[in-house]
Chains A and B, each alone.
Chain A
Amino acid sequence: MADFLQALGSGILVGLVYALLGLCIVIIFKASEAFNFAIGEFLVIGSFLFYMLFFDLRIPFLLALPLGLLAAGLVGALIERLTIKPLLGRSPISMTIVTLGLGFLLRSTVQLIWGSHTYSFFLDLPDITVIAGDYLFLSDPIWAGILSIITFALVLGLLFRTRWGLAIRAVSESQAKAMAFGINARFILLIIWGISSVCIAVAGIMISNFGALAAGSGIVGLRAMPVVLIGGMDSIVGALVGGIIIGVCESLAGTYIEPMGLIGFKDVAPYFLMLLVLFIRPYGLFGTVRIERV
């Protein structure tokens, strides 16, 4: 039982980071119906930008974090302007394909700039390790969970409490209608990509803090795929729940199934779960309940 609760707890903490990754996919998908396959590369770029500020330039953490995130947001917005904006009004499939190609391009660019060796990445946040009886929760995952949930909440607040969020939700529903009512859909799309890159960077920094950072670490970004497919491609709640489910599933698989000799099953388990969910609910657990008028 102690094992189970331990696995559950650490699963949830990691799951919150995955939820943030899912959120990044969901807000872009809602706005342009495109799936951002370059999420892993955005993640690496965001982490490296922060790395430069914090480790190379030795700016204090509390200053380096916002600056790094700002830089990540600007890079995301720039990438949107160059690659996605010309496709506005075209089929979402073409945008999705563009992000695929973009992924390769960005990965190579990162390798050109930072090389492909591993950078040690240690944030040295205050130690808040929790040891209670049989349970042990390490400091880093707790920080990751806290920061992720804060970011998640901030994005939700922006979406549902501000007029910019209202405009974003309007554009998410229909770019043409939004434009007709004077909402600059192109600019809103830019902002959405910016926000999404910022969230990805937060997730990236937290994930890098678990281990190390390298040009290839972007692969973890694809973990967003089972998250959004389980939760529903266009549901923010779905991203949160899906993220936690994936985190827990991974952690349980690591605790119970891997010791049986299936080393590496931890990484496959989420995809099994995803298949299972998709068999039963093709739109994901929280996929849109389409409004039907009677």
Chain B
Amino acid sequence: MLTVENLRVVYHDVISVLNGMSLEVRDGEILVIIGANGAGKTTLLRSIAGMIDFYDGDILEGDIKMDGVSIKGLDATDIMKRYNLTYVIEDRPIFWYLTMEENLGAASFSRWDSKVKTDIARVYEYFPVIKQLSNRKAGYASGGEQQMLAIGMALMTKPKVLLLDEPSLGLAPLITEELFNIIQRLNQSGITIMLVEQNAHAALQIGSRGYVMEMGRVVLDGQARELLNNEDVREFYLGSGKRERKSYKDAKRYKRRKRWL
């Protein structure tokens, strides 16, 4: 189980992004995190994966624990190797100038063993598209193919916990659906998934639990199904809910959001 306790993160010593963030990721679940832009979702993932100092951020307070052991301050590669935690950066973190196959090879750098070939075959099984394009430079692939490759690369690192940062970014609805089906399949194969998404509706449908983040805090949490039906979530993140025209005063949503805190 991955737990984040009261995390405070600051960029460049001044920009406070996470202000006392706490959550837990239970083994075997799909945890969905939703929140507006700038709520600190990506920062949270960076902190967990040990990459926060690369972006000139600092963890001021709080702790990140993996099964009770603190992983705060460890190097990204150490966290990946020792705790099998893989972070898929947002916006398709693939190497554009390498071929698809080389990409998969590069991702398995941390664990070069005899099983790499079989694992590549397994990734091809999940994503048949990648196999067809395996000798093409990844930069020329379409957005959907690139995102599949990114997840395939993450699989090459043999993760137990997978942090996905907006995998649906810029993808067509049909592709997103396919991608989420695959994420679900991965979860069924035993990988714990922490999914950060703007596409809240689709994400909450495959998720088991969810957190709503705002201003670097958790403002709401619960079962994914409950969140889907929660009136505030519906209005602010799903775009459904009340449809009638509102006055300008109501449009200042932050005033209403304050109630959650």
Contacts and interface: CB of A to CB of B under 8 A. Distances in A.
Instruction: Please indicate whether A and B come from the same complex rather than being unrelated chains.
Output: yes
Interface of A: 88-90, 163, 166-167, 169-170, 173-184, 291, 293
Given A89-B54, A167-B109, A182 B97 contact: no
Contacts of B95: 169-170, 173-174, 177-178
Interface in B127-186: 137, 139-140, 142, 153-154, 156-157
Interface string B27-54: 0000000000000000000000101011
Interface residues of B, number: 37
Given A175-B54, A176-B54, A291-B139, A182 B105 contact: no
Contacts of A167: 106, 109
Given A89-B56, A166-B109, A180 B49 contact: yes
B77 to A, nearest CB: 4
A179 B89 CA distance: 10
B109 A88 contact: no
Given A163-B112, A170-B98, A293-B140, A182 B107 contact: yes
A180 B89 contact: yes
B125 interface: no
Interface of B: 49, 51, 53-56, 75-77, 80-81, 86-89, 93-98, 102, 105-107, 109-112, 137, 139-140, 142, 153-154, 156-157
25 contacts: A88-B54, A163-B105, A166-B105, A167-B106, A169-B95, A169-B98, A170-B98, A173-B97, A173-B98, A174-B95, A176-B54, A176-B93, A177-B95, A179-B76, A180-B86, A180-B89, A181-B110, A181-B153, A182-B80, A182-B110, A183-B110, A184-B75, A184-B110, A291-B139, A293-B139
A291 B139 CA distance: 6
Contacts of B93: 174, 176-177, 180-181
A53 to B, nearest CB: 34
B98 A180 contact: no
Contacts of B87: 180
B76 A170 contact: no
Contacts of B153: 181
A176 B87 CA distance: 11
A173 B77 contact: no
B49 A181 contact: no
Nearest to A88: B54
A170 B102 CA distance: 9
